[in-house]
């Protein structure tokens, strides 16, 4: 088991990674002094799988709790669902020291964190991510948000958790597609920050696919450490340091939105988005590493991630691309790659090139 500290002054917190990390909940609750009345946000499936285990842990810690169930899809990350969580918290106000636990994947963490941040201007919040994607990425860093009809993550806050518990035992319940989705973010970290991680993904594919605990702990702890470093340097995403984490996300979010947040998982969309960004890097003469593009294609194939956007109209994709929250003054901003380990933020890329890239990697 490993402990990674996110150093943010009074907002610092630990990320506990490994097999059996969940068992340390009681001790960490005492240390964090989060509260004594928990709102547990989870979807029905996760509650069925892990709700009793969490309930028993909270009882041992002397905490009361109640569950708030959200839909099991990106649709759970809506303004109306966040409002329902806040209204639920309001009903328990004055009955104890309230705190929120997100038990689930990225959708759960985002909507629960958003609700925790706005209720009474903030109540303590704990992340217990149960998917690979959430463990390696979204549970760390304090970005919370909900989707609007016009796009993904258009309403959100920065609000750090008190604790992140990433138990790799949770990953045993995921299907292959969910694991593959998480691997897209792992691949992203390898390209922007750690070529040794990419080497491991190539050499240890069978161990990862079989979810061997040591292999899963290696990739979750490695990605968590990288994410922590970026967050420490640019907590509120005010510069361009943390924006590197959005490699693949501008195109990827457009694919998710164009598909109505149903056809493609977040990781599948990000994998496709990285391919778009890397091809664009090459066409703009920014990419200096000739091995990067074929390496990305091999890794996407190895982990079952799509190289083409199928069944999505290119016009809808382009429209969704233009609504990205990273744009400033109507000017697009895309994270591109110079070489493995070095990104470049490119502004105002000609729309013609964006259209060309989307059309070349789309199949109706």
Residue 164 backbone phi and psi in degrees, to 5:
-125, 125
| Residue 169 shares a structural domain with residue 187 | no
The Cβ of residue 217 has, within 10 Å, a number of other Cβ atoms equal to 18
Last residue of a domain, one of 155, 173, 191: 173
Same domain, yes or no: 185 and 135 = no
pLDDT computed for residue 343 by the predictor: 97
Q: How far apart are CA 33 and CA 120, in angstroms?
A: 18
Within this chain, do residues 131 and 190 fall inside the same structural domain, yes or no?
A: no
Same domain? 165 vs 299: no
Same domain, yes or no: 140 and 252? no
* Domain end marker among 173, 188, 219: 173
pLDDT in tens, 294-311: 999 999 999 999 999 998
Structural domain contains residue 219? no
Say what the pLDDT of residue 7 is. 98
Query: Could you read off the pLDDT of 111-147 as tens digits, one per residue?
Result: 999 999 999 999 999 999 999 999 999 999 999 999 8
User: Can you tell me the distance from the alpha carbon of 211 to that of 169, in angstroms, rounded to the nearest whole number?
Assistant: 9
Instruction: Report pLDDT digits (tens) over 318-352.
Output: 888 877 766 666 688 999 999 999 999 999 999 89
Assess whether 67 and 147 both reside in one domain. Answer: yes
d(CA 354, CA 349): 7
Integer Cα distance of 323 and 249 in angstroms: 13
**Residues 73 and 183 grouped into a single domain:** no
Q: What's the pLDDT tens digit per position in 58-93?
A: 998 899 999 999 998 888 899 999 999 999 999 999
Q: Is there a single domain that holds both residue 135 and residue 273?
A: no
Do residue 52 and residue 189 come from a single domain?
no
What is the pLDDT, as a whole number, of residue 224?
Answer: 99
| Strand ranges for the chain from DSSP E | 2-6, 13-18, 37-43, 64-70, 98-104, 125-129, 143-148, 151-158, 163-167, 309-310, 333-339, 342-347, 362-363
Task: Give the domain CATH number at 112.
Answer: 3.40.50.1970
247 Cβ partners below 8 Å, 6+ apart? 188, 191, 192, 274, 277, 335, 337, 343
The answer to whether residues 159 and 280 belong to one domain is: no
Q: What's the domain count of the chain? A: 2
Q: Taking the CA of residue 41 as centre, how many other CA atoms within 13 Å lie in the half-sphere pointing to its CB?
A: 33
pLDDT computed for residue 340 by the predictor: 92
Q: In degrees rounded to 5, what are phi and psi of residue 20? A: 85, 10
| Residue 234 placed within a domain | no
Q: Are residues 114 and 183 in the same domain?
A: no
| Cβ(194)–Cβ(222) below 8 Å | yes
pTM (2 d.p.): 0.94
Is 125 a member of any domain?
Answer: yes
* pLDDT bucket at 212, cuts 50 / 70 / 90: very high
Q: Alpha-carbon distance 146 to 77, whole Å?
A: 5
Looking at residue 363, what is its pLDDT? 81
Does residue 291 share a domain with residue 142?
Answer: no
Give me the CATH number covering residue 195: 1.20.1090.10
Does 30 fall in a domain? Answer: yes
Q: Do residues 224 and 140 lie in contact, with contact meaning Cβ atoms separated by under 8 Å?
A: yes
Its domain, for residue 346, covers: 177-208+245-363
């Amino acid at each position: 088991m490993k402990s990674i500290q996110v150093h943010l002054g009074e907002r610092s917190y630990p990320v506990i990674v490994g097999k059996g990390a969940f068992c340390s909940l009681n001790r960490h609750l005492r240390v964090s002094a989060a509260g004594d009345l928990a709102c547990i946000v989870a979807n029905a499936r996760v509650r069925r799988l892990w709700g009793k285990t969490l309930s028993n842990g909270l009882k041992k810690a002397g905490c009361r709790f109640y569950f708030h169930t959200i839909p099991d899809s990106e649709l759970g990350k809506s303004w109306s669902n966040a409002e329902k969580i806040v209204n639920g918290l309001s009903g328990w106000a004055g009955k104890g020291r309230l705190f929120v636990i997100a038990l689930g994947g990225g959708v759960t963490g985002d909507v629960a964190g958003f609700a925790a941040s706005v209720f009474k201007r903030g109540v303590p919040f704990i992340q217990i991510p149960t998917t690979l994607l959430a463990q390696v990425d979204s549970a760390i860093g304090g970005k919370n948000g909900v989707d609007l009809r016009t796009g993904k993550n258009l309403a959100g806050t920065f609000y750090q958790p008190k604790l992140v518990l990433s138990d790799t035992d949770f990953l045993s319940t995921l299907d292959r597609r969910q694991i593959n989705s998480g691997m897209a973010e792992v691949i992203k970290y390898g390209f922007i920050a750690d070529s040794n991680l990419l080497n491991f993904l190539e050499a240890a594919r069978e161990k990862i696919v079989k979810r061997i605990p040591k292999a899963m702990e290696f990739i979750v702890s490695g990605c968590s450490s990288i994410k922590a470093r970026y967050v420490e340097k640019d907590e509120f995403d005010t510069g361009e340091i943390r924006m590197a984490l959005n490699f693949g996300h501008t195109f990827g979010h457009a694919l998710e939105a164009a598909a109505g947040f149903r056809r493609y998982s977040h990781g599948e969309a990000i994998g496709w988005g990285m391919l778009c960004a890397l091809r664009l890097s090459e066409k703009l003469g920014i990419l200096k590493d000739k091995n990067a593009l074929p390496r990305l294609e091999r890794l996407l194939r190895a982990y079952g991630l799509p190289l083409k956007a199928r069944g999505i109209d290119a016009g809808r994709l382009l429209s969704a691309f233009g609504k990205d929250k990273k744009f400033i003054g109507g000017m697009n901003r895309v994270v591109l790659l110079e070489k493995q380990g070095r990104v470049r933020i490119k502004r105002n890329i000609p729309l013609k090139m964006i259209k060309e890239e989307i059309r070349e990697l789309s199949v109706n």
